[in-house]
Chain A
């Protein structure tokens, strides 16, 4: 099963952009790249996902490298409510299996 590598923690200032990196060098051609976040004492929340092209939604943007071996989650203007653990996960072709890593704990300073 392909794995992802993320920094353990990152800091950001409120209202500044945040770039959360993820490496997935063993990704296969049919694996989707998913991002979830988990606020304290809550279940994981879907943020965004993509296959090859960059993706945008109301929460964030996902930039995927051309070789698909890395991706970056972009929060355009961090708020205090964005402080959470962010997980980058590969969704295997057969689905049903999201294998979580340790994630990146994002702290946002006012």
Chain B
């Protein structure tokens, strides 16, 4: 199994551009989440999904959109990139929401907005 796959690994955007960060998992996990990590900081939750068709906001949702049309995929869209969104983005998944299982994280997408 590939686990959680994030693409691209690196991306440079100009201010105002839009893009989609892809996240896919092949473990049939119900729950998926997006985090960002700024230099020297811990991870902050952006959005999460408890199943196909269901999403909710995390700690820092502004400037980001998500959708969950399938169990496998959970893309993160930047509508109009800003330098403040320069960060490393991590996607994570877990089988269900009871906390009984550990999360699996992707290897991250390093985004720079100039």
Chain A positions near chain B (C-beta within 8 angstroms): 30-32, 34, 36, 42-49, 51, 85, 87, 91-103
With both beta carbons as reference points, the residue of chain B lying nearest to A45 in the complex is identified as B105
A residues near B50, Cβ cutoff 8 Å: 94-96
| CB–CB B44/A98 < 8 A | no
Nearest Cβ on chain B to A5's Cβ, whole angstroms: 13
Q: How many residues of B contact A (CB 8 A)?
A: 31
A residues near B42, Cβ cutoff 8 Å: 85, 87, 100-103
| CB–CB A91/B99 < 8 A | yes
List, sorted by A's number, 12 A–B pairs whose CB atoms are closer than 8 Å. A30-B99, A32-B99, A32-B100, A34-B99, A49-B101, A51-B99, A91-B99, A95-B31, A95-B96, A96-B48, A96-B50, A100-B43
